[in-house]
Structure 1
Amino acid sequence: TLLIVNGDDERVRKIAEKAKKRMITYGVHASNNLVLSDFREFGLSSSFNVSFDKTDLGRFDLSLPGFHNAKNSLCAIAFLMEIGIPISKIREVMPKFLGTKRRLEMVGETKNGLKIMDDYAHHPEEIRKSLNALKEAFPDRKIITIFQPHTYSRTKSLLSEFIASFIDTNKLILLPTFASKRESSNSIMDEEILLEFNKIKKNVIGIEKFDNVIKYVQQNVNDKDHLVLTMGAGDVYEIGYQILKHDK
């Protein structure tokens, strides 16, 4: 049995050590087996250096933005090395991986140059990392995030973390919460959530209907200076496709 472990997380490392199994650690700290360094980002792509047990493995390219994606790729590198795939082959195939559906996915671009992307993130840490990656990838564009909270229970319990996670967006459009099957839609709670956001952030607006969100985008941010990101685990992704459908 082999454990491939995020060695930068002390809690994870300690738990893994208790299993008393063979372990490969990865991360940015020199104490790890697989170490990432010199991370650089180029639009929606990135590159970085990797070493294994102090031996330089060279530079790797990834067709994905974000430091978190580069760090996650170390897991794949560790696994492929373990099963005997040559480093040269790993380096060759990594840029061919274009990501997964709804993870910083490029949906399209309007005739006026507005880029539209979609991301499944619905937890504060995921949101923060995705927005930071986009800010680094598109420093000259203002990011308009259309966020659909997922479940009232999660949103309420992590509300302060959610509010803080949107630090890298220029404008936040907050939709009603996408309730779970065990919950009912609650417009009063949606208003309370929006109120809490507005207490701390001045760049937040609440829009209830998808059609009104589409109109807002068409009338206010449909140009090459902006990037629209739909975000959440519900059906918010439909907005991006509808914007492009109406852009004819």
Structure 2
Amino acid sequence: MNIINTSHIKPHYHFIGIGGIGMSALAIFCLQKGYSVSGSDVQSSEITEKLIQLGAKIHIEHHADHLIHADAVIYTSAMTKDNPEYQQAIAKGMKVYHRAEFLAFLIKNYSEIIAITGTHGKTTITSLIAHIMSEAELNPSYLIGGIAHNLKYHAYASNSPFVTIEADESDASFLKLNVKHLIISNVDLDHMQTYDHKIDELINSFAQFATRDTISGEILIGSDTENAKRLINKISFIKPQVRHYGFNPNMDIYALNYRQLNQQTIFDICYQGQLIQDFRLRLPGKHNVENALAAIALCLKLNISLGIIKKALTSFTGIYRRFDHYEHTLNHKQVDIIDDYGHHPVEINSTLEAIEKRFPNRRLVHVYQPHRYTRTRDLFDDFIDCLATADIVILMSTYAASEATIEGAGAHDLFNALCKKHKQCFYVESIEEAKVKLDQLITENDVILVQGAGDIAKLIEHLI
């Protein structure tokens, strides 16, 4: 099946910011389809090296000359419009696609398009579905916004009718997509500048997506929050197939008997009024049970056997930087290190709860790097509440993600506020300072949580 072009000459696509996780997934997908791919970024990485190995031409800078052979240019919302490659593409009258537009372009001929959106859990749910469907020998295509340990790449292009994708709500670009099946994991406050800082606008955007004419298959909405309930009420009269999932017995699909045992998460589910027992998952925490529940419900509806689903869950080893666990000796002391991507108060609380279940009665040292000034400003008090729960907190300077500084919304502002209710709180400017501070503070048998969506991941390289 030829997804984009029926001619014998394969097009050449150029990606501005190709090293990003979403853009690189699109680039890998194109390379697997046999298209020519080039791209640029400000620095090299494991991802850009992988793309080079797959046949992409990578430039470590942005320059207008890089478009000489390109037929179209793809960009993201993070790019500024003064980018020289973007400006050159406009000047030459080239085809220019936003990342979501290009994703829609790539997948338009698949008949079973499964989209996962929501504030948290998108990558885990997408990866779980791809893994289960692969185990069921359905050979699904997928594009994922993270690195799943079970999958060779975070994108795969096949000729199966199934494709599973993440749909981005952060810039409302999911409204550019036409899909058949939809999972909305949760509806929490984040990226609120996109929605004029109004929760009604956020809910309306999800509702607009969920009620598109193309969505004729499953619609699953998770979490027991008022926002999720408002969304369900808004769309249920248009899409009566919508189903609610989570832990509440009043939901259409719910989990029960959740427990942690020997580093396994075990739970039962109630599906279509039937109790199905003994699901086992390596990922800890109630939030991951909810993620698994979404994948289970969709795959059961697609007639994948219960035995295959259960087996796939037990073999799924998770996502890079989603509660990655390392047992290590640090400064002559045996510790457990958790590396986690969480950067929203709901995600932080979920991770902290999972740590308490996995490592009960252990001292916790929480190293956290705030991500984006806007998020810190919008959720300042919620960050204080969740960060105050660890025994020791080390705050790193804010990872701005290209945002301008906002007065009163930086890591040092969090530190000053946190010090009023937490005696063991420290502030560091760099990865190196964080490592020194950990060496000073840790004791035998500590659990160290390294958390955030910025460059704090590099701290792990200094610890293990």
Structures share fold, TM-score greater than 0.5? yes
Secondary structure of the 2:251 match is: coil
Secondary structure of the 1:133 match is: helix
Give 1:156 shift. 2.1
Greater RCO, 1 or 2 (C-alpha within 8 Å, sep 6+): 1
Give the match for residue 158 of structure 1.
379
- 106-115 or 151-160, larger mean C-alpha shift: 106-115
CA shift in 2, pair 1:133/1:12, >3 Å = farther
Give the match for residue 220 of structure 2.
4
Give 1:144 shift. 0.7
Q: What amino acid does structure 2 have at the position aligned with 1:172?
A: V
Q: Give yes or no for contact 2:374–2:409 (8 Å, CA) kept in 1.
A: no
How many residues end up aligned between the 2 structures?
Answer: 243
Backbone CA RMSD of aligned residues: 2.2
Give the match for residue 177 of structure 2.
none
Give 1:11 shift. 2.2
Q: Counterparts of 1:187 and 1:132 in 2: how far apart (Å)?
A: 29
Give the match for residue 234 of structure 1.
454
Unaligned runs of 5+ in 1: none
Give 1:240 shift. 1.8
Q: Counterparts of 2:223 and 2:362 in 1: how far apart (Å)?
A: 34
Secondary structure of the 2:343 match is: coil
- 121-130 or 189-198, larger mean C-alpha shift: 189-198
Q: Deviations over 1:6-39 (max 9, x none)?
A: 2634223223414324223222222322221110
Query: Which among 280, 284, 290 is matched to residue 61 of structure 1?
Result: 280
- Correspondence 1:52 to 2:268: no
- Aligned identity (percent) is 26
Larger radius of gyration: 2
Q: Counterparts of 1:97 and 1:210 in 2: how far apart (Å)?
A: 31
CA shift in 2, pair 1:188/1:137, >3 Å = closer
Structure-to-structure mapping, 1:98-113, within 5 angstroms: 98-110=317-329, 112-113=333-334
Give 1:151 shift. 1.4
Q: Counterparts of 1:195 and 1:219 in 2: how far apart (Å)?
A: 21
- 179-188 or 107-116, larger mean C-alpha shift: 179-188
Query: Which among 350, 355, 361 is matched to residue 129 of structure 1?
Result: 350
Give 1:74 shift. 0.7
Structure-to-structure mapping, 1:89-238, within 5 angstroms: 89-110=308-329, 112-184=333-405, 189-221=410-442, 223=444, 225-238=445-458
Give 1:168 shift. 3.6
Query: Which among 250, 254, 257 is matched to residue 38 of structure 1?
Result: 257
Secondary structure of the 1:139 match is: coil
Q: Give yes or no for contact 1:128–1:168 (8 Å, CA) kept in 2.
A: no
Q: Counterparts of 1:140 and 1:44 in 2: how far apart (Å)?
A: 16
Q: TM-score, normalised by structure 1?
A: 0.89
CA shift in 2, pair 1:43/1:21, >3 Å = same
Q: Counterparts of 1:138 and 1:191 in 2: how far apart (Å)?
A: 30
Q: Counterparts of 1:64 and 1:242 in 2: how far apart (Å)?
A: 25
Q: Deviations over 1:171-208 (max 9, x none)?
A: 11011111121325989954333111112222311122
Secondary structure of the 2:420 match is: helix
Give 1:222 shift. 5.0
Q: Counterparts of 1:97 and 1:26 in 2: how far apart (Å)?
A: 21
CA shift in 2, pair 1:47/1:153, >3 Å = same
CA shift in 2, pair 1:210/1:222, >3 Å = farther
- 95-104 or 214-223, larger mean C-alpha shift: 214-223
